[in-house]
Amino acid sequence: MTFSSLFERSAPLDVSAPVLIGVVAIAALLSVPRLTWQWFGLFATLVHELGHAIAAILSGRVVHGIRIRRNHSGDAMSSGRPGFGAVLSGVFGYPAPAIVGAALLWSVFNGYTAIALFVGGVILILTLLVIRNLFGVLVVLASAGVAALLWFYASAEVRGYALLVLGVALLVGAVRGLVTVIGVHTSRRAQLQTSDAYLLYKSTGVPSPVWLLLFALLIGASLAVAVGSYLAR
């Protein structure tokens, strides 16, 4: 792929229903079994923390660093005036994988695979500027390496299917993350400090279930966009 072809709209990926079912099955294999999730979940955690960081930047806050840990936990540290910016940053963690997944599917089904891959690669490279632990650096480098291989060596069709699988896997991973955080609030309350919904409750006084519902609505809207992109292709 050349840079001059970056903004050219390619033929949208033509995916039949049986093939899509196969793609969903492959994506589920990445996001559901513990064996594969222990690896793919690290990328989902990176997207989660980038969701916090990008929302913080867009609301005028300053991002000081991101950490990704082997146990799938992470931190996105930012500072600024309390209020809207802090709330916005807190909200866009759990929904971030679903939003990115829906965006990838939209790009695949509308012929913008090249620019989606390019933008994702640029974001990953810029992320290296704010990663504050060695393991996080390794996760980002591995992700950027896969993006580079697709960019330089894969055909347009292979790139399309790769982003399709990745997008669906992120959507499945977002649902998994939502189920996990709901489980924290219902049966593993000793882990509440790990929940963005609980941290939002502590900072705003708005009950955690309200934030969980907002996460669910954003993830559900992303799923609707993804399905709509396929049906409108």
Query: What's the pTM?
Result: 0.93
pLDDT digits (tens, 9 = 90+) for 48-81: 999 999 999 999 999 999 999 999 999 999 998 8
List phi, psi (to 5°) of 61: -85, 165
2 has a pLDDT exceeding 60: no
Largest alpha-carbon pair distance within the chain? 53
Structure confidence by residue, pLDDT tens digits, 169-207: 999 999 999 999 999 999 888 888 889 999 999 999 999
Q: How many alpha carbons fall within 13 Å on the CB side of residue 24?
A: 11
In the beta sheet, which residues pair with residue 67?
Answer: 75
Name the phi and psi angles at 60, rounded to 5: 90, 10
Q: Each residue of 83-134: pLDDT tens digit?
A: 899 999 999 999 999 999 999 999 999 999 989 999 999 999 999 999 999 9
Q: How far is CA 63 from CA 42, 86, 170, in A?
A: 20, 11, 24
pLDDT attached to residue 189:
85
- 224 burial level (CB within 10 Å; 0-12, 13-18, 19+): exposed
- Report d(CA 2, CA 114) in Å as an integer: 10
Report the Cα–Cα distance between both ends of the chain, in Å, rounded: 24
